[in-house]
């Protein structure tokens, strides 16, 4: 007989694991409400072209893609932003702006399975369409920040940068978009040696090499001073200077929105996805060298998918990594589900109909009352109830029934008493 396992990189979520994910999802939905994001769902399967258009080489090569029986090239989504941009370009083009859409969904990437890196993982998302104002960027940062706080994180930081600075430096060298993207991919992976090797191969000016070297040193929490230094280094680059002003405005608005979290400015920071046009960011907690979430501004994606030009900014907190960090830091509440369960047990077979009716009545009143369904002895049924964290057992016996009573056993307090059936619901509610 073959013992089947999950496919490598895939995971089963048993009740305890799923409860953790649901806890995170609940907090995400609280933030959707607080910040005005309407939740949407899009298909797991998308056209390969849509997903790969601006995915960047890294993700493009790690997609689960195949031809369906109709000969269409399709892919399991590695992220959700292109799907949301597709929806905005097609179905929501006439909707009033700004438009805020949220999602919680699974994604697939053929990554190397390791801690915090899975082939199926869950992302939450906040996507805001219809504003190019820095306050929109700040609001996305604030929503992400609020999520982290509501989850219980107090110690985390937001790494922030701006791709327009890099694009401006590269465009001045008349570099093709493909070469710019390759450079940014190396930067995303923090492979500086490869960045400078490629810059040499592309025969960029000495000035460009120097600017890049200097940009790589501009990183730290002292963002005001670093922005000042950046302005000196980039003094003749108009686009880059506007980007620096934007970053300053975004951080300022984020502070006004109550984001007290540390900002780690990094002007040599890039992200692998190719659709970003402005501010980019990632969220980190100390002791975990993987981003818990990331995002940024992408002003041209809707247009690329055939819609009106609509500026956009968003982010995707990674649910699995957040759960991992909560676990590591002991931040999950002790009891993730606190439904008080009641097990109704008939002592003899002929009392079963009464026990079934009793449980059914309790359920109608909203009590999680379950029946003992194996016909085993009272002792085994009680020990099961104990192991499964039942709060009460209702024991239906003939002696008590004659007085229209049952025994209510409090499994936590380890006490029991006789209770009239008519009072059962109130007794359970009161304890």
31 binds ligand HAM (CB under 6 A): no
* CB closer to ligand HAM out of 128 and 240: 128
Residues numbered 270-289 forming contacts with ligand HAM, rule: CB under 6 A: 273
User: Of 323, 329, 397, nearest to 18 (Cα)?
Assistant: 323
185 binds ligand HAM (CB under 6 A): no
CB-based closest residue to ligand HAM: 318
291 binds ligand HAM (CB under 6 A): yes
Among 48, 121, 253, 264, binds ligand HAM (CB under 6 A): 121
196: which 2 tokens?
A: 């400078």
* CB closer to ligand HAM out of 100 and 391: 100
For 240, residues 6+ apart whose C-beta sits below 8 A from its C-beta are 164, 165, 168, 169, 230, 234
Q: At what angle do helices 223-233 and 206-217 cross, to 10 degrees?
A: 180
Cβ–Cβ under 8 Å, residues 208 and 173:
yes
What is the DSSP-derived secondary structure letter of residue 416? E
Q: How far is the CB of 430 from ligand HAM (least distance, A)?
A: 45
Q: At what angle do helices 206-217 and 192-201 cross, to 10 degrees?
A: 170
Segment contacting ligand HAM (CB under 6 A): 24-32, 186-194, 318-326, 366-374? Answer: 318-326
Q: How far is the CB of 115 from ligand HAM (least distance, A)?
A: 10
* CB closer to ligand HAM out of 59 and 183: 59
User: Of 143, 394, 140, nearest to 278 (Cα)?
Assistant: 140
Residue 362 CA to residue 411 CA, distance in Å, equals 18
Segment contacting ligand HAM (CB under 6 A): 34-42, 123-131, 232-240, 404-412? Answer: 123-131
81 binds ligand HAM (CB under 6 A): yes
Cβ–Cβ under 8 Å, residues 341 and 389:
yes
79 binds ligand HAM (CB under 6 A): yes
* CB closer to ligand HAM out of 51 and 424: 51
Residue 268 CA to residue 106 CA, distance in Å, equals 30
* CB closer to ligand HAM out of 107 and 347: 107
* CB closer to ligand HAM out of 98 and 116: 116
The set of long-range contacts for 244-247, using a CB threshold of 8 Å and a minimum separation of 24, is 244/162, 244/165, 246/134, 246/137, 246/162, 246/164, 246/278, 246/279, 247/160, 247/162, 247/223, 247/279
Segment contacting ligand HAM (CB under 6 A): 20-28, 36-44, 120-128, 193-201? Answer: 120-128
Binding site for ligand HAM (CB under 6 A): 79, 81, 109, 111, 116-118, 121, 123, 125, 127, 273, 291-296, 298, 314-316, 318, 320-321
């Amino acid at each position: 007989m073959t013992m089947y396992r999950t496919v490598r990189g895939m995971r089963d979520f048993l009740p305890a694991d799923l409860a953790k994910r649901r806890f995170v999802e609940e907090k995400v939905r609280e933030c959707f409400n607080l910040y005005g994001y309407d939740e949407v769902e899009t298909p797991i399967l998308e056209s390969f072209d849509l997903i790969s258009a601006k995915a960047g080489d890294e993700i493009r090569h790690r997609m689960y893609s195949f031809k369906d029986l109709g000969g269409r090239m399709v892919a399991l989504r590695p992220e959700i932003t292109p799907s949301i941009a597709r929806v905005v370009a097609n179905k929501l083009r006439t909707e009033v702006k700004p438009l805020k859409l949220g999602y919680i969904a699974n994604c697939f990437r053929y990554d190397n399975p390791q801690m915090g890196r899975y082939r199926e993982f869950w992302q939450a998302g906040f996507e805001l369409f219809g504003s190019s104002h820095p306050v929109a960027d700040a609001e996305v940062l604030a929503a992400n920040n609020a999520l982290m706080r509501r989850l219980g994180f107090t110690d985390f930081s937001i790494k922030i940068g701006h791709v327009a600075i890099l694009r401006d430096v590269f465009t001045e060298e008349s570099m093709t978009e493909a070469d710019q993207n390759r450079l940014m991919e190396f930067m995303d992976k923090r492979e500086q040696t490869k960045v400078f090797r490629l810059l040499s191969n592309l025969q960029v000016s000495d000035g460009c090499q120097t600017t890049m070297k200097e940009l790589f040193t501009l990183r730290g929490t002292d963002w005001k001073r670093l922005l000042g230094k950046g302005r000196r280094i980039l003094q003749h680059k108009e686009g880059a200077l506007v980007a620096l002003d934007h970053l300053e405005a975004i951080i300022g608005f984020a502070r006004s929105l109550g984001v007290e979290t540390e900002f780690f400015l990094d002007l040599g920071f890039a992200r692998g996805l190719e659709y970003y046009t402005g501010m980019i960011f990632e969220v980190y907690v100390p002791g975990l060298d993987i981003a818990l979430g990331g995002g940024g501004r992408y002003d041209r994606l809707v247009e690329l998918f055939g819609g009106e030009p609509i500026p956009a900014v968003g982010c995707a907190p990674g649910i699995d990594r957040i759960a991992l960090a909560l676990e590591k830091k002991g931040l999950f509440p002790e009891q993730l589900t606190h439904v008080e369960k009641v097990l109704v047990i008939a002592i003899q077979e002929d009392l079963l109909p009464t026990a079934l009716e009793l449980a059914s009545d309790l359920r109608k009143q909203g009590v999680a009352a379950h029946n003992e369904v194996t016909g085993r002895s009272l002792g085994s049924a009680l020990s099961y109830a104990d192991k499964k964290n039942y709060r009460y057992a209702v024991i239906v016996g003939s002696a008590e029934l004659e007085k229209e009573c049952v025994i209510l056993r409090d499994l936590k307090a380890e006490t029991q008493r006789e209770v009239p059936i008519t009072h059962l619901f109130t007794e359970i509610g009161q304890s």
